[in-house]
Structure 1
Amino acid sequence: MASLRERKKNQTRQHIADTATLMFKERGFDAVTVADVAREAGVSTMTVFNHFPRKEELLLDRIPEAVRLVTQAVEGRAEGETPVAALRRLMLELVDQRHPLGAIGDTFVWLWRIVLDSASLRARAREAVEEVEDVLAGLLAEAGEPEPRLAAAFVVAGCRVAYMGAAGRQLAGERAADVAGEHRARVAEVFDAVERAVGG
């Protein structure tokens, strides 16, 4: 169980992120400064940077969660379950839960538009994908995967293609409910291909 200090820290972080998100939604990412966010959230600029080293992470605040979820899936997999099977299970659960990392949700479209409208956010998103791939390669190496870097690249590239496909359809006006089924099948296909490529 988290300590009181840790809970307060997490609450402050979430408050800052929520405040920033609303401001970016109303004004656009580039029109809002970190000082603006700090003032609106009732904290110091230093406090914002203590929780979010870069402005982009105020909006892309799921990056640490993505790393944590991937790590938990691989390290906490069931006996006899391969890392790729554990990652498949995780990604399908995220789709089913309508989690932001699962790419299905009518409420995510505005977020994607903000990212697409900002060169710095697009760059940070690309970096985040590379960070997750690096972490995954390390996890697969520890799990005994003979080609961990290649396997990680396959998983991340496949998931990215599936995610971008689903997001693109929703950005074009399709409802999340109408995209979900095909997207889920696409994610499963991605992992079928990865398993064929790396032998599970």
Structure 2
Amino acid sequence: MPRTAERGGPQTRAKISQVATRLFLERGFDAVTVAEVARAAGVSSVTVFKHFPRKEDLLLDREIDAADILRSAVRDRADGTDVRASLREASLRLLDERHALSGVADGSVPFFRTVAASPALIARAREIAAELQQTLTVELDRDPRFAGDPALFAAFFVAGYGTVLVETARRLVAGDPADAVAADHRVRVERLFQALREGV
């Protein structure tokens, strides 16, 4: 194996993730081992675990992106901009871009089916949601411009956004037209933020 294949960095991480995702979607998460992913990506299992501490994170690899979006929505909003408005803008931007975190990205259905078929992936997704909730709580707690209850707000937002995503995934897997699902996704995001404005 060439030494260059073992070097770390974003390109190696991206290659491992792409290879793992292809294998998981083709054969199912539980049917593919980390050793098989490593061989297909041309790296060692040690290198895989260097970039992805858990097998589940090979497929659920957007937690860092999601955490960065939450932090930016709190930290980088203009003075006088409510955090609800900042999070709403970020959520709708993900939708408009058909970002993977929006749930409406092209090719999402095989991903959703793979996750739904694996108890390990479902459990990890719940852990990630809890970790993101904690991330948002910490950011809000540090922000003197936020006057509400950080933990309560973060719990409502993360749970609410997760509920929107699950329904979007359900409808796409059921075969509903993607444009109609995206439009309904937007409506439910707006309802979420209406509830956050009126209730938290």
Q: TM-score, normalised by structure 1?
A: 0.92
CA drift of 1:86 comes to: 0.7
- Given that 1:105 and 1:176 are in contact with CA atoms closer than 8 Å, whether structure 2 keeps it comes out as no
Q: Deviations over 1:143-187 (max 9, x none)?
A: 233310001111111111111111111111112112111210110
What secondary structure, in the 3-state scheme, does the structure 2 residue paired with 1:130 have?
A: helix
Tell me which residue corresponds to 2:177: 175
Tell me which residue corresponds to 2:194: 192
The 5 A counterparts of 1:22-101 are 22-101=22-101
Tell me which residue corresponds to 1:12: 12
What secondary structure, in the 3-state scheme, does the structure 1 residue paired with 2:9 have?
A: helix
Which piece of structure 1 moves more, 73-82 or 110-119? Answer: 73-82
- Alpha-carbon distance in 2 for matches of 1:15, 1:53: 16
TM-aligned CA distance change 1:79 to 1:18, over 3 Å: same
- Alpha-carbon distance in 2 for matches of 1:195, 1:146: 11
What secondary structure, in the 3-state scheme, does the structure 1 residue paired with 2:107 have?
A: helix
Q: CA RMSD for the aligned pairs?
A: 1.3
CA drift of 1:105 comes to: 3.1
Tell me which residue corresponds to 1:5: none
Tell me which residue corresponds to 1:164: 166
Check if 1:148 corresponds to 2:150: yes
What secondary structure, in the 3-state scheme, does the structure 1 residue paired with 2:176 have?
A: coil
Question: How many residues are aligned here?
Answer: 192
- Alpha-carbon distance in 2 for matches of 1:160, 1:38: 31
- Given that 1:74 and 1:139 are in contact with CA atoms closer than 8 Å, whether structure 2 keeps it comes out as yes
- Alpha-carbon distance in 2 for matches of 1:145, 1:90: 20
- Alpha-carbon distance in 2 for matches of 1:83, 1:29: 37
Which piece of structure 1 moves more, 56-65 or 171-180? Answer: 171-180
Query: What residue identity is the alignment partner of 1:164?
Result: V
CA drift of 1:106 comes to: 4.2
Unaligned runs of 5+ in 2: 1-7
- Alpha-carbon distance in 1 for matches of 2:138, 2:184: 31
- Alpha-carbon distance in 1 for matches of 2:184, 2:148: 32
The 5 A counterparts of 1:105-124 are 105-124=105-124
Which piece of structure 1 moves more, 110-119 or 176-185? Answer: 176-185
- Alpha-carbon distance in 1 for matches of 2:24, 2:57: 12
Identity %: 47
- Alpha-carbon distance in 1 for matches of 2:94, 2:20: 24
- Given that 1:106 and 1:170 are in contact with CA atoms closer than 8 Å, whether structure 2 keeps it comes out as no
Q: TM-score, normalised by structure 2?
A: 0.92
